[in-house]
Amino acid sequence: MGGIKYLEAIGRKTKRGRPAAGPAPTKADLARLYVQEGRSVRDTAAALGCTKDAVFRALEAFGIPTRPKVRRSRMQQIPLPALKAAVQEKGVRGAARDLGIGEEAVRRYLKKRGNLA
């Protein structure tokens, strides 16, 4: 029963859809935050006061390529010497528990780097 609306019937333009959740990002803002600073789409949206969908649409509209979706491991944030020292002191299980990372992930990470037999 989505009939014609009164304003449409008398020839006036009507806005359709949901109103924007914030200002549309500018190309300069996107180039600074997303490209130069390397922020994520979510961080860029928060800094600009708009939605992540608005950022994605603006990136596409301005022809700025998006980065591939890569899940970064917390293991890469921990320096290898510090991880090795924690494993020597507390063992793999204790170090993993303290870092909030799975025990098997620590084992694989160290084995991949040739530091665990």
Give the model confidence (pLDDT) of 41-57 as tens digits: 999 999 999 999 999 99
Predicted pLDDT at 72? 67
Q: Do the beta carbons of residue 34 and residue 44 sit within 8 Å?
A: yes
Predicted pLDDT at 57? 92
Predicted pLDDT at 25? 92
Predicted pLDDT at 4? 64
Q: Do the beta carbons of residue 55 and residue 41 sit within 8 Å?
A: yes
Q: Which residues of the chain, if any, have pLDDT below 70?
A: 1-4, 14, 21, 70-72, 115-117
In the chain the first and final C-alpha atoms are separated, in Å, by 70
CB atoms within 10 A of CB 34: 24
Compute the distance between CA of residue 27 and CA of residue 22 in angstroms, rounded to an integer. Answer: 15
